[in-house]
Amino acid sequence: MLARFSALAPAVLAAVVALPANAPAHAHETAVSVPLPLAAAVAALPVADEAREGYDRSLFPHWVDADRNGCNTRSEVLLEEAVVAPEVGDRCRISGGEWSSYYDGETVTEARALDIDHMVPLAEAWDSGASQWTTARRRDYANDLGEPVALVAVTARQNRSKADQDPAEWMPASAEAHCRYVTEWTTVKTRWGLSVDTAEREALLGFAQSCPDAVVETEPAA
Q: What would the pLDDT profile of 70-125 be if each residue is shown by its tens digit?
A: 999 999 999 999 999 999 999 999 999 999 999 999 999 999 999 999 999 999 99
> Cα 140 to the chain's mean position, in Å?
13
Cα–Cα distance, 220 to 217 (Å, whole number)? 10
Element (DSSP H or E) covering residue 95: strand 94-95
* pLDDT the model gives residue 34: 79
**Model confidence over 165-219: pLDDT tens digits?**
999 999 999 999 999 999 999 999 999 999 999 999 999 999 999 999 999 999 9
Cβ contact 72:64 at 8 Å: yes
Question: Do 52 and 164 contact (CB within 8 A), yes or no?
Answer: no
**Cα–Cα dist 26/189, whole Å:** 13
In sequence order, what are the residues at sequence separation of 6 or more whose Cβ sits closer than 8 angstroms to the Cβ of residue 58?
none
Q: Specify whether the CB–CB gap between 71 and 149 falls below 8 A.
A: no
Tell me the pLDDT tens digit for each residue of 37-64.
999 999 999 999 999 999 999 999 999 9
CA–CA gap between residue 83 and residue 151 (Å, rounded) = 16
pLDDT on residue 197: 98
